[in-house]
Structure 1
């Protein structure tokens, strides 16, 4: 059996501001660093055969704070969805063609691709390719992004494109899966119990993709 832990990075300033973050190499905020350390307390005593990590700065920083001294295998396939020329902006700041594209994305996340960016299909292809490259057994962790976690969960449960429900992936949240003989068990989704002792460690509202 393969035991897979999918872990979202801690908060960044752009997360808090609601900016379109995509594949920018933003660092963790002060809160994000604290979340990552709390995550480390939760992971203390866990032993992984391999720890994969997105090569974006916020993911690497989360992994290094939560799992100090543990070797990381960086993989670009675990990067957040690219939002191209929209990155760095608030939705409300966009004008002209960029504003139109952003509005189209809100209506059709699956197919609309921003200039120089990706759509959800593009993200799913690379995320699933990473998943299918994993060993059939062992204990694996991946420190990644909300979009990647959504894409993998939707793939695993066979969600239809028109589904009206969505998963949640909070900053520093943990999703655990058991995969055996082609069958997947969702052990936990978006577990944030390690952030509960202090209320302000949780971000009240998460954007769909960051």
Structure 2
């Protein structure tokens, strides 16, 4: 049975990540500290070699791919973009905590949208599941057995909480910038049970949770 490895990697740090602001779908670049951190991780640890990089089209993910996989073929996947946070983007959680609209969204984020956004949590989950299905189909059709997926915190946490074994709630899949998890997929397991098997943390040699900066809520973004 043919198996496929995917390496889920969160983009490097942005100014919004560094200062604790919601970024969501706002297209921001990596900050200088984020670039330096990625270079340091790449030198100290190991990112697996891949045949293809599937990447969110937002700048911070493309720049991360440029640093970690400059010579690998790349496919931009529109459905890997982060959840839109509407009017909450660019704002600090601490400044929103008493906002009635923010509190209402947190209470029912699967059913509701932030003001100014168009996608509920349920629609977001459906979209990123479709992105993973498209990636897996592309891999099988093109005989790609090992690939990287460079995306956002909320996207990767959502995919892992929905499909990964062992099962964990979304918050326990929080991922630091430039880090992630390697997973294994097979046609049989995916078609029958929609399961992906977690193999271990990334980059290789770095323990999960080591030097974590933030445990993200929804898309630490």
TM tier, smaller? 0.7 to 0.9
> Structure 2 matches for 1:130-141, cutoff 5 A?
130-133=131-134, 134=136, 135-136=139-140, 138-141=145-148
1:142/1:16 Cα in 2 relative to 1: closer, same or farther (>3 Å)?
same
Match of residue 114 from structure 1: 114
Aligned equivalents of 1:119 and 1:152: distance in 2? 16
Aligned-CA RMSD value: 2.8
Match of residue 155 from structure 2: 148
> Structure 2 matches for 1:87-106, cutoff 5 A?
87-94=89-96, 99-106=99-106
Match of residue 62 from structure 2: 60
**Is the 8 Å Cα contact of residues 174 and 192 (structure 1) preserved in structure 2?**
no
Match of residue 187 from structure 1: 199
* Unaligned stretches of 5+ residues in structure 1: none
Match of residue 181 from structure 2: 175
Q: 1:85: Cα distance to partner?
A: 1.9
Aligned equivalents of 2:146 and 2:109: distance in 1? 32
* Unaligned stretches of 5+ residues in structure 2: 190-194
Number of equivalent positions: 201
Q: 1:167: Cα distance to partner?
A: 1.5
Aligned equivalents of 2:82 and 2:32: distance in 1? 21
Match of residue 83 from structure 1: 85
1:63/1:110 Cα in 2 relative to 1: closer, same or farther (>3 Å)?
same
Q: 1:171: Cα distance to partner?
A: 0.7
Aligned equivalents of 2:8 and 2:22: distance in 1? 22
